[in-house]
A and B are shown apart, each in its own frame.
Chain A
Amino acid sequence: MADLALNVRGLSVSYGSDGDRVRVLHDVDMQVARGRALGIVGESGSGKSTAALAVLGLLDKGAAIDAGQVLVDGRDLYAATAEERRRLRGGKVSIVFQDPFTTLNPAIRVGRQIAEPLMMHRGMNAAQAEAETLRLLTEVGIADPARMAASYPHQLSGGMKQRALIASALGCDPDLLILDEPTTALDVTIEAQILDLLEELRRTRALSILFISHNLGVVSRICDDICVLYAGRVVEQGPTRTVLSQPRHPYTKGLLASLPSLSVERRRLEAIPGRLPDQRQPQPGCIFAARCHFAQARCTAEPQALADAGNGTRNRCWRSEELQDTPWRVEAGASVERRPPAVDAPTVVDARGVARHFRSGSFIDALSLRWQGWRPAVAYRPHGVRAVDDVNLTIRAGEIVGLVGESGSGKTTLGRCLIDLVSPTAGDIRIDGQSLLAASRGAKRALLRNAQIIFQNPDSSLNPRMTVAQIVGRPLDQIGASGTDRDRRVRELLDLVRLGAGYADRYPHQMSGGEKQRVGIARALATRPKFIVCDEAVSALDVSVQASVLNLLLDLRDAFGLAYLFITHDLSVVSYVADRICVMRHGKLVEEGATASILGAPQHPYTTALLAAVPRVRLAEAPVRPTA
C-alpha cells in the first residue's frame, strides 16, 4: 500500500445548514495506486461528484467533512490550511470537468487559460508559459496550437475545448488527474477520440487517474479498478473486469441488467424498481434493501459492511456469496422476440421531400461589408442553416423507427416538423393519408390528435405549477372531454404508465426523473395517438430508470400498435428499441434500413464510424497498462 497517488479513508461528507444536514458520502474508502486508473460509477445522487470535489479540496459552501482523510501523494489534504490546499490544486491534483462548453471562460483566450496553472504553480513567466502551452496543445493532438491558443472558446468545437482543458489539467504534471464525466457532453464520435487521447496519455505519461462516470462502457475502457457508489456508499469495488463480469452486489447486477447493449439480439432489460432512498431519513439496514430483489428481514435491520468476496473484490452485501451465481432477475438476459409490424401495416406518417431552413440574425446583421479595393460595398447576405434537407420518411403502424445522428444533424427539427411544432419550408407531410400542411386549422387539430411528442427533459417540459392530473388532462380538455369521462381517462392513463391514481395530485417537483417522464408519456397518450415522436425521451434518465421507461414504451407499442419516431444520440438504446434505423447527418438521411442490417452491415461510412465509436462494456480485453 506504499505507493498511492490517492488514498481516501473513511470519508464522510454532509451538506446543508445545522438543523437540516444531509450526509451525501458515508465512510468512503478508495485508493488509486500510482499509474493506475480508478473508475467511480454511480447514478445521479450517488455522491460521485462530491467525492471528486472533496479530493480536490473544492467542496461547495455548506459542505463539511464529518470524518475521514484524503491523502494525496501521502499528504493529508484536510490537515493542511486552505491556502496550502489551494496551492495543491491545479498543480498536484487537477481536474477535467464534464461540460467543456461552460468550463472555459468565454472572455479569455484559450491559451491564457491553459497557461494559468503553469504560471501559478511552475513559476513560469508569460513567454515560457506560452511556449509550454503550445507544446501541451500539440501533445493533446491539436494540429495548429498557435491558432488554438489565440482563439476564444466560442470559436472552438466541444471536442477541441475538451482537448484544451485536458492540456490545461496536464500542465503541471499532476500526481492525480480527476476526470469528471469528461465525455458525457460530447457526441459519440468525439467521445471516442477523447477516450483514445486519454488512453494514449495514460501510456505516455503514466498518469494516476480518478475517473468519474455513469457510463460503464467508458469506465471499462479506461479504468483498471472500479468503485460502485450507491447513495453515498461504496457498494462494490475491485478490478474492473472482475466486478463487471462477476458482479456480486445486487446493485451492480441490476445496473448491468438494465444497460442496453449494442447488439442485434434483443435481450429484455431488467430495471431496478423504486428510487434512491431519502437520505434525510436514517437507514438502519442495507441502503439498497428497499429496491433489492433479494432483500430479507436481516437486510433492513443490519447495516452492511464492506467485506472481501474472495475474488479480489469487496462488496457491501451479506448474501453476496450465496447469490454469486444468481442473476439480477432469473429471466434477465432472456432473449425476446422483436415484433416488427406486419408487412401490410398501414402507413401512419409519410414525409416527402421535407426541408426546413432557418434564417438567423436581424436585417442589419445580414448586411455585410466588403472592401473592393478602396470602395466599400454593402451586401445583403442572410445567414441560414439547412436544418433538414430534402428528407423522405415513412413510418407504418406499430413500427419503431430510430433516428440517430450527432448534435446539429437536424434530427430534432425533423421530429418537430412531423407534428407541426416547426413548419417545413418545403415538402409534404401526410398523417394517416391526410396532408398536414394543406389542412385547415380545424382539420389540422384533428390530425394532430394522432401525432404526439415526448420531450427529452421532463423537468422543463412539465408545467411546475400544475398537478399531474392537470398536466395529463390538458390534452383531453383540448379535444373536448369533460367531467367524469375526463377524470376516468386520467386515472386510466396513469395506470397505463404504471404510476397509479395516487400520483394525480402531485406536482412535478414531488417526483423523481423517471416518474416525471412517465407523466410525459401519459400526456402524449391522452388523445389515443397513432404516432409519437420520442425526442431523446430517455436521455436524461439514469440507466436503471431508463430501462423501465424503454420497457414501458415497448409494451405500449405492443398493446396499442403505436408507431414511434425514436430520436436519440445513443446507439445502444436505439438498437434495443428500433425496428428500423435512419441515420441523419447535416440535415440529410444518409442511411436507412432494418436494425439488424444497419448494425450488422452498415453501408455508409458515417454509420460505420458512429457504430465503431460506441463505448461498450468490455470484459474480454484487459484495459491498457501504462508501459512506464
Chain B
Amino acid sequence: MIGYVIKRLLSIVLTMAIMSVLIFWITQVMPGNVAYMILGDFAAPADIATLEAKLGLNDPAHVQYWRWASGLLRGDLGMSLVMERPIGPILADTVSKSAILAGISIGLVALVGIAVGVYAGVRHGKPADHVVSVATYLNIAVPEFLFAIVVVMLFAGYLNWFPATGYSDLSNGFGAWARHIVLPVATLVLGLMAHISRLTRSSMIDTMQSQYVRAARARGLSEWLVIRRHALPNALLPTITVLAIDVGIMMGGIVVVETIFSYPGLGRLLMFAIQNMDVPLLQACMIVITFVYAAANLTADLLYAFLNPRVRYGRSAGD
C-alpha cells in the first residue's frame, strides 16, 4: 500500500511538472505584450524596453520558465501586474471562498447523486426508476448556465428568498453567508448530479445481478444487508473515479457560476486575469486549478484502493 501511494505521488509530481511547462508556454504565446499592458498604448518605446528588461521578458524562454517555476517551488507566486500586489494572499482568499462553494457542491453531488442512483438501481424497472431516469435525462440535457438563470429568476426574482448575487462573509453572520451561497451551490449541484446518479444507477443494476449478490441472498441475508454490505461498496468504485473527473468539470462550472452570481472566488479571479491580460495572475490561477484536479484524482485513487482489495494488496497466490 505504501509503495502504491508513493507511485501515485510520483506520477502527480510528474503531471504537475508537465502541466507547469504547458501553462507557462500557453500564457507566453498569448497575443499582447505585458509591458504594453502595464504602460498603456501610448507609452514611449524606450520605457517599454526598460520595463521589458526589468521584467526579464527578453531572456530566453527556458530562463523565464525556470525563474517562474523555481519561484513557485519556493511559494512565491509573483506579483499581479494589474493589481500590483503579491498574488499569494489574493489567491489564498479567493481559493478558500471557491473551495467552500465547490466542497459543499461536490459533497452534495456525491451524497444526493449516489442516493438517487442507488434508489433507482435497486428498483430497476419499477416506476420509481423510470421517474428518476427521465428526470436525469432532462437534467443532463439542460446546460449549466440555464440552471443559473432559472434559479435566479425563480428564487431571487419571483420568490425573493435568496439574494441574486454577491457574497457575505461569515463574520457578518451565518444566515447571511448561507443565503448567499444557496443559489450558486444549487446551480453547481444540478449541473453534475445527473451524471453521478445515472452512473451509480447502472453500476448498481450490474452489481445487483452479480453472482456474489445472488450468493449473499442464498445465505439468507436481508435485502438491506445485501445492498449495504455486498452491493454498494462494489457499485461505488466507478462512481468514485467519475467524481474525481467531476471535480475538474466543476472547475469550469465555478467560472460560470461565480461570474453569474458575482461570487468573489477563483473563477472570477481567473476571468479577471484573462480579461486584463494579467499573465502572472493567470498562470498562478491555472497552476492552482491543475493542482486541485491532480489532488482530487489522488484522493479518488486512494479511496478506490481502499475499497478495492485487488489494488490494496496487489496480486497474490493462486491464479
Stretch at the interface among A102-110, A203-211, A314-322: A102-110
| Contact mask for chain A residues 94-131; partner B; CB cutoff 8 A; 1 contact, 0 none | 11010100111111100000001100110000000000
With a cutoff of 8 Å between Cβ atoms, the chain B residues found around residue A368 in the complex are 3
Contact B309 A152 (CB under 8 A): yes
Is the CB–CB distance between A107 and B316 below 8 Å?
no
> Given A102-B211, A121-B220, A168-B219 in contact, is the A156-B7 Cβ separation under 8 Å?
no
Beta-carbon contacts under 8 Å, A535-593 to B: none
Give min CB distance, B93 to chain A, whole Å.
Answer: 37
Contact of A102 among B212, B216, B219 (CB under 8 A): B212
Which residues on the A side are within 8 Å of B7 (C-beta)?
A: 364-365, 367
Query: Which residues of B are found within 8 Å of A121, using beta-carbon distances?
Result: 220
Whether B211 contacts A99 by the Cβ 8 Å rule is yes
Question: Which residues from B are CB-within-8-Å of A103?
Answer: 211-212, 214-215
**A364 engages B218 (CB within 8 Å):** no
Contact with B along A161-177 (1 / 0, CB 8 A): 00001001000000000
Complex Cα distance A397/B247, Å? 63
- Asked whether B3 lies within 8 Å of A102 as measured between CB atoms, the reply is no
Chain A residues within 8 Å of chain B by Cβ, number: 40
Interface hit among B110-118, B189-197, B227-235: B227-235
Q: Does A157 interact with chain B (Cβ within 8 Å)?
A: yes
> Taking the complex as formed, is B315 at the interface, i.e. its CB lies under 8 A from any CB of chain A?
yes
A156 near B3 with CB under 8 A, answer: no
Tell me whether B11 is interfacial, beta carbon within 8 Å: yes
Interface centre among A87, A95, A105, A152 (most CB of B within 10 A): A105
Chain A residues with CB under 8 A of B212: 102-106
Does B137 interact with chain A (Cβ within 8 Å)? no
Q: CB distance A155 to B316 under 8 Å?
A: yes
Cα distance, A105 to B218, chains bound together (Å): 13
Q: How far is the CB of B120 from chain A (nearest CB, A)?
A: 15
* Interface flag for B303 (CB, 8 Å): no
Which residues in chain A, 369-418, are within 8 Å of chain B measured between CB atoms? 369, 408
Q: Are A160 and B219 in contact (CB under 8 A)?
A: no
Interface flag for A86 (CB, 8 Å): yes
Q: Which of A61, A90, A156 contacts B218 (CB 8 A)?
A: A90
Complex CA distance for A246 and B217, rounded to whole angstroms: 40
* A residues in contact with B308, CB < 8 Å: 106-107
The number of chain B residues touching the other chain, given as a range, is: 20 to 34
Q: How many whole Å from B45's CB to the nearest CB in chain A?
A: 52
The one of B210, B218, B309 that contacts A95, using a Cβ cutoff of 8 Å: B218
Interface residues of B in 217-259 (CB under 8 A from A): 217-222, 229-230, 233-234
One of B3, B214, B220, B315 near A91 (C-beta < 8 A):
B220
Q: Assess whether A89 is in contact with B220, with CB atoms less than 8 Å apart.
A: yes
Confirm or deny: A604 has a beta carbon within 8 angstroms of a beta carbon on chain B. no
The verdict on B310 contacting chain A, using a C-beta distance below 8 Å, is yes
Q: How far is the CB of B6 from chain A (nearest CB, A)?
A: 6
Contact of A155 among B216, B218, B219, B317 (CB under 8 A): B317
Residue numbers in B under 8 Å from A408 (CB-CB): 319
Q: Which of A86, A117, A156, A369 is close to B317, meaning CB atoms less than 8 Å apart?
A: A156
Asked whether, in the complex, the Cβ of A88 is within 8 Å of the Cβ of B316, the reply is no
CB <8 Å contact, B220 and A87: yes
- From A180, which residue of chain B is reached at the shortest CB distance? B218
Inter-chain CA distance A168–B216, complex, in Å, is 11
Contacts of B313 in A (CB 8 A): 152, 154-155
Interface residues of A in 588-609 (CB under 8 A from B): none
A-facing residues in B277-319 (Cβ within 8 Å) = 307-310, 313, 315-319
A112 to nearest B CB, angstroms? 9
For A104, the chain B residues whose CB sits under 8 A away are 212, 215
Smallest CB separation, B302 vs chain A (Å) = 16
Instruction: Tell me the complex Cα distance, A104–B213, Å.
Output: 9
- Chain A residues with CB under 8 Å of chain B are 56, 58, 61, 86-91, 94-95, 97, 99, 102-108, 116-117, 120-121, 151-152, 154-158, 160, 165, 168, 364-365, 367-369, 408
B interface with A by C-beta (< 8 Å): 2-3, 6-7, 10-11, 125, 210-212, 214-222, 229-230, 233-234, 307-310, 313, 315-319
9 closest A-B pairs by beta carbon, nearest first, are A157-B318, A90-B220, A90-B219, A155-B316, A89-B220, A102-B211, A152-B309, A105-B212, A117-B219
Q: Show 26 residue pairs from A and B whose CB-CB distance is below 8 angstroms, ordered by the A residue.
A: A56-B218, A58-B214, A58-B217, A89-B218, A90-B219, A94-B218, A103-B212, A104-B212, A105-B212, A105-B230, A106-B310, A107-B234, A107-B307, A108-B229, A117-B219, A117-B220, A120-B221, A152-B313, A154-B309, A154-B310, A154-B313, A156-B318, A157-B319, A158-B318, A364-B11, A369-B3
